[in-house]
Amino acid sequence: MNYEDLLAMRPGITFSEDGEAQVLLWAPKAEKVQVQFGKEGNALDLEQRDYGFWTLQTRALWPGDRYGFLLDRKGPFPDPATLYQPEGVHAPSEAFDVLKFQWTDRNWKNPAMKDYIIYEVHTGTFTPEGTFEAMEAKLDYLVALGVNAIEIMPLSQFAGGRNWGYDGVFPYSVQDSYGGPEALQRLVNACHKKGIAVVLDMVYNHLGPEGNVLSHFGHYFTDKYHTPWGDAINFDDAWSDAVRHYFVQNALMWFRDFHIDALRLDAVHAIKDFGPVHILQEIRQQVDMLARGTGKEHYLIVEMDLNDTRFVKPIEAGGYGMHAQWIDEFHHALRVSSGQERSGYYSDFEGVASLAKSLRDAYVFDGIYSDHRKRKFGVKADGIPGQQFIVFSQNHDHIGNRMLGERTSQLVSFEMQKLLAGTVFVSPFIPLLFMGEEWAEPNPFQYFVSHTEEELAEAVRKGRKSEFAAFHLEGEAPDPVAISTFENSKPQWALIDQQPHRTMLHYYRKWIALRKSEAVLHECDRDGLSAEVFEEKELITVQRVWGRQHLVAFLNFSKSPQEVLLPFEHLQWHKLIASSDPAWNGIQEMPALAGAGALSVAPESITVYINTINS
């Protein structure tokens, strides 16, 4: 078996259709490797291959068997590519046959990226039960809401049963407390039946601390670089070929074996790779090859603290080929526009001026000086279509990054919440909602972990305290290890039938329906958008044109009514939506029809008019 053959295989244990187990392990640090399995602790020798790989073909291992690897008779250690850890990170792995599941989604087609309306969920808190099975029971609710993609926060096995997911230590695994790998397959299958795509949040920049055994096997990490969260993954140092193989095959597995529609790759600015082919580019190339074989389309979405179009440009244009990226700067400008504090990373933003720039240009900092960073930052995003940018008024990070984890509903008025939502939907970008925002959920979403090692738990507590130093906050952050912090972060589903939450839910449903039905909102066309800012009025006028449709939106972030002008006197404008209307618990009914001239727009509101130009 040559090197290329080895790199074409998935790490870990896979089963053929006739039940034979194929074992592939990378363990260049070991002189002897055995797989130990079963109640009797039987051990089978693996055959040493070139470049640190070890293989075994056997019919002695079966799905459901517990196993681990002995390295020079030390261990057993869980499998670095384990799919299931039913008793947690410190226990044996369980062999799982991904081919066993009977999929019924043959006719499923992943929506075009521009059609995505994304709903971010945390499995452990989204429902009282905190499982994939319980999430299935909420799919009809999501269909009624109108979203067509759920983004699941990381689910790779972490220590304990409570974690945001960014402390996972086995990237191939599916968290046991959520239901394990088969429950995930059932959820994805059910989502596709309901017309919902599934985006999986994956972490390829670091691994968590507790239960991390990869260093026993091989050179997965490097001292060349460092991340804020742990050792940097070795993507370009000695022995990096096999590490790259491990992560490339991981991405392919989610698409191929779990029918995931898109991966959201966490904090890719912390992925350090100065080799000739960046690991993200290699993943994109391999995903494209998979798509050509299966006929299924899959997307790669990145989160990054870089305004660098290289990540989203096509490979043939010198980019890495990612399909889309989150834009934090849109969120930051939106928050400051709503009157919230300008401390920490919000200090760079000038409210409505920055927001209007983000609506037009995607990036706020596109080569201009950042006082927060003390340097010029970013490049212009000219030529990058709107569907390659994902925007939001809140998400897990920017809620949980607050010391008390307050959602927007606890920071601004009901009217301002409606304005923030409307700004997201009127933008030429892909909208993302965070679970519960659509009914103005008041519970926080706080940072929580369940490390079983007390020294590590205490280190996390201290880390949270020091993290808020840049925000100059007084008081103490909630204990991230306390179960109450986790329980307090669960949305209250009973509120959707109570006011004013019911009204907010219907308001979101209306916006989502408009986003789908009105081409001028549905098409992510940046060229047909203009955004004029009136800083003294804290007002932005957005105009969008697509085909024969012309839309005008007035975004009033001030606490006073503002006079605005509808353009083009020969046009008759039809009201699309006004957050100030009594239907949305507002204080001012805007006219259903209006000609060119002055209108008074209510405080903290968004008013949208549309006209279809006759040919």
Name the binding residues: 264-269, 328-332, 396-401
Is residue 223 among the annotated active site residues?
no
Does the active-site annotation cover 371?
no
Q: Torsion angle, CA of 584/587/592/593, rounded to 10 degrees? A: -150
Q: How far is CA 410 from the centre of its chain?
A: 23
- Could you give the CA distance from residue 156 to residue 176 in angstroms, rounded to a whole number? 9
Tokens 């926060």 label which residue?
153
CA distance 201 to 433: 15
Catalytic residue among 120, 236, 303, 538: 303
Strand-pair category, 375-377 with 368-370:
antiparallel
- Positions at the binding site for substrate: 264-269, 328-332, 396-401
Query: Alpha carbon 291 to chain centroid distance?
Result: 22
CA 321 to chain centre: 18
Name the active-site residue from 79, 266, 438, 525. Answer: 266
Helix%, strand%, coil% for the chain, nearest 5: 30, 25, 45
Nearest-angstrom CA–CA distance, 89 and 572: 64
Of 186, 214, 171, nearest to 85 by C-alpha is 171
Q: What is the largest CA-CA distance in the chain?
A: 85
In this structure, which long-range contacts are made by residues 491-498, counting pairs with CB atoms below 8 Å and at least 24 apart in sequence? 491/125, 491/126, 491/435, 491/436, 491/441, 491/443, 492/441, 492/442, 492/443, 493/127, 493/128, 495/439, 495/441, 495/442, 496/439
> Hey, what's the torsion of the CAs at 149, 151, 157, 163, to 10 degrees?
-140
What amino acid positions are annotated as catalytic residues?
266, 303
